[in-house]
Structure formats: structure tokens, C-alpha cells
Chain A
């Protein structure tokens, strides 16, 4: 089916005065990449047409991440012991007074990060770091090298296998420190590694570390006691601990997402409570947002910074006004999805494609598409299998 965009996909044929072609076509294009929950396949959809444009067979079921540039999708296959990469085929170029877009076919790249049990993957400033839990090793590669297939990954080893994460931060790398006596427990803090790949000796305690996100030039990592907030420093990253506010209900954050356009973080906290976090505020740095039922997934809105999104187990998508700190719109999209059961059962996930929000509905085999402003469904795309993890890439620009 065709999804309704409020803005035409081909916006204009602009006439430039100098230095550019006389007629540069303005094009907006969005692709959604969807991993199946039970099959080792990723499907790519053209969002405007609502049609599958390609599909990629993987080694195992995947969770998807997109690079900041949108040129690469990373498919993390925990049980197949690898991270595969898909070139999205869409590239945006910033030329100051205008932007270019090039659109090609998506393609599975040759680059693979292989190792035992990859789970967490973080991409920052063009470098991706996948952490392999059963090895305790982070493998890093640049997005450019992944696209070109020109570089072997660089390994950075923590002290032992554990459920960890590695976060590129300029020339430094932040790597989790495993629990000293219980390999199955969550990490106990962050260690800083220098440009030479060796530990600097800097350590920031963070009990039960799980969940990381970036917003602006900040990185936040969730702990049982609060957040570690990492900011650029004159010589090395500046890491400080932000304790949870005293007025919050019982809980802790284990998943974080970061705002774009506005610098804030959104985290889970209790089953029906999210927290909006402004780490630079002296007061009200944590603002709880109550949800009607338990949260299934949540996301920030990269195109409309005022809004964040949450999907709850009653089948509703909610729009959160991050300035007011409350839900301002809700829409029913799916049948209920209970949070009881296995953590990895197929449940809806959220992606944002410019003005449109896309929600996977694994049990119905659909992608629901919602307009951000009206917050009404604009269509649904039928998908084979159980559409689960998804990311959107694209944008607008001139073609020459």
C-alpha cells in the first residue's frame, strides 16, 4: 500500500543562480529495514510505496541499529555470533547552503564483525563498537571502512567475559568493567581506554550498569544508583555520577534513549514509569512520566524534538511532550501485547522516518504508520513473517 506523506516526495525543481545545475531535483526518500523475529532475514521497504524493495538473508535473527549517518544498518545476531552490515543505499551530503541525496539499491556488505555473543552495539562519530559478551571483547570498525571493506576490526579487551558495552568517545573508548566475582552479574562501572587502546586507569563506578545513549555531545549510562554522564573534557572525557532524584518511585533505569535537537535522555524506570532526564539541570533533572500500562518500547523523535514516543502493552502508541513532561496524544495501533512471558517474545518496536512513525506489529504481520503531527494512522504495510526490530533511514536533498 502507499503511505500518505503530507509533504510531496518530489518537492521542487529548484533553479539555482550560480554554481549548481540549473535544475536540481529535490527528493525525499525513506527506507525502513525490518528484522524478522523468527527467521534470519531483514526486509527493506520503501516507505512511500509501502513495498518491499529487497531482502537480505542473515545467519540468525537480528536486532537492528542504524549508523548516525544513515548509510549503514548493523544487524546484531546474538545467537549466530556475528554482526552483519547492510548498506542502506541512501546517502545525505551537507553542502552548507543545500544538501544532496543519493539513492542506490541497498546491499549486504562484506564486512562482518564475528565473535561470541554480540549484544550491545554503539556507533558514535563514525565508529561502531560491538561488544562480544562471551569473549569480553569490543570490536571496532569505522563506518567508512565497513562500507568500503577496507579495514580489519580493532579489538579492545576488557578483563573478563561479561554482558558489557563499549562506547567510542572521540579518541577514547569507554568499556564496562565486569563484576569481580560473578560473571553473570551486570557490570560494576566504566573503564576509560586511551587512543593507544590501553586502559588509562580512570574508572567510574556504576553498579548494575545496563543501558546507554547519547544526546548532543553527552553520553549517559544507567546504573542502579543513577546515571553516569560523560562529557568532553580538555584532556579526556569528563565522567560524573548523577544520582536518581529522591522523589522518584522505586526503580532503576536499564534502557536509555537520547534526544536529538534537544539534549535530554529518556529511560525506563518502573514498569509503568519512564523518566525524562536533563543531566545539566540543577533541579528536576529527573521527571517521571506515568504510562497507562507497562511499556513495551520507547524512542525519541529525531525530527520533532519536542516529542518522544512510547508503546504500551495495551496496544497504544503515546506521544510524550518532553517540555511539558506528559503524554499529549495516544492512538490504538495493535492488539494487546503482554509484557509477561519471555523477555525476547515478539513485541512491537518503534522507528521514526522524518514526519512518520513506524511501529512493527509482529503478531499481525504489519508495520503501522502514524503521522507525528495529527497522530493518526496513515496506513499499514503488510509484512511476511513476524516483523520485529526495525530502523528507518532517509531524508531529503537535491539530486544533481
Chain B
């Protein structure tokens, strides 16, 4: 080959070139190894990091599948007689066994009953509005303005906690994998509803704006007017749903053991947020009116740094002047005295703050 440039080329030119190339290759390999080591230290290279959005979708999908499976089990529609006792007049309704809910009964009665009722009382037992009726029964509706709305208030407080859980799980960026722990048994007299949560942050003192944002998210959830869908599932299904939450995986077997059937737990869904709880819950998120998230207190456990998030709320339609509501908000800032979640890795028999 003619050397056009006229420059003399060393006979070793190609060898030197190849040597240099190899050296570069080796360098690159070294770099790759370092990166790989880093990745291996962090976790499996091929696996995507867990995000709350993905986990939420998975749970909601499992919920839908299970609901469809259970609905498919009912092949014949049987009729039941429901004796309604209350306003505007007592009546008998013919409903579908295992399908119709107290809410459906209210739809037959009138709009006010539909919108106002928080819970139902079926044969004297407190019943969710969206829980199918199982047999002939007597039916009453409970609401917030009865002379003693004990169960409605309690369900309201419990539902507010669950809604707070839903907000906490969806409000943070995806790089923080928020794990919900539990909430103590709802007690209105304590002045605040609570959710204990592992935010994967060592320290957090939320600013006023951050708290207001959380409150705003609660309002959005309330305006979305989701129903509290109820489903009784086998513990194995629940464990599959909550496989990505280390607290719930511990709580589910205990809750299943305490249930009447011995192996089932109740899961609720609002929008696409799924929560395991014994219930009962109010009919829908739209019952939540004025609400504010007021405080976040750190809780030490021996495995994780948890936070106790607290808020106060009133049902829709309860008007309170801003001064009086301010008094309630101020009181809700105090650390709630409800039972703390257990030390997660303790082996001794524990008194767990189970999700009631």
C-alpha cells in the first residue's frame, strides 16, 4: 500500500496500536467491575426499586381479582326479606342474597337516607353500608346526628385514620418507599386521629406548608367521594397483597387468628388504596368535611424510626367557627396517647397496636 502522506510508518505501528487498544479495554472493564460492585451492594441489579405507586396498583389489582372471583361464586340469585325500621316509614324490601347492600336498600328508600347514612345496623349488629346482606334481617341506618352516634363517630375516626394512611402513601416522591404501620383503636376523646408510618427518613419536622399540603390531599380524597369497598379475604390473599409491607405481613396472621372464621381478614379499598382493617368504616370518603393534619411526632422502635401523624376532622355539614376549630387543632397537636406500635423484632409476647 502506498504511503500517501510520505511519513514513514514504524513496522511495529499496528502492534503498538493493538496494545493501546487492549489497555483501554482493560481500563473499561475495571470501571465496569466497580460499578457492578456498587450495584450489587445496593441490591439486585435487574430488579426495579419498590415504589408506592407500583405497590398500590398491585394491591388494587389483587383486590379487583378477588372481588370478581367472589362475585362469580354466586350463581343463583336468591331473594331475602329486609325489614326496614326507620324514617320515613317502616317497610319490607325484597333484596338479593349476598349481593344487595344496605346502601342499595337506602337507594330504594330515599336520597336523604342514601347520603346521610354512615353505617347500617343489621339485626342489631353494626354493618358497613357496602357490605352485602347475608340473610333475612332487620335494618336500620346510623348517622352523625342521632342522639347517641357512638358507632358512627367511631367509624368516622377510624375511616379518617385510613384516609390519612392513603394520603401518606401517595403524597411522597417515589424515591421514598413509605410503609404504613398501624393506628391505635379510634378514640374520639383523644382529640386526634392517628397513623403510624415508616417514612424511611431519619428526621422530619414538617413545615406549616407541608402539613397544609397533606390536609389538602385529605380534602381531595374526600371530594373524590370514593366508597369504602369491603371484602373479606383469606389470610393468604391478604399476605400476597401486603407482601411488600413488613408491618402488615406481621399483623395479618394475628388478625386472621382473631377473626370469627379463624383464617380471614377484612380489606377495604378507597380509590386504589387498599387497607387491612377490622372495620366498620363509614359509607364513603365524602362524609369527611373539615379536616387538618396538624402534627408529626417521631416514635422510636428498635428496628425502624416511625412517625405518628395526627389530624383532626369533622363530618361534612358540621359547621364550627374558626376559633373553636382552632382550639381543636391546637389540642390535636399534642402527642396522641393511643397505643404505640410494637417493637417490631421483639420476641416476647407483645401487645400490638393492631389495626382495629
Tell me, yes or no, whether A binds B.
no
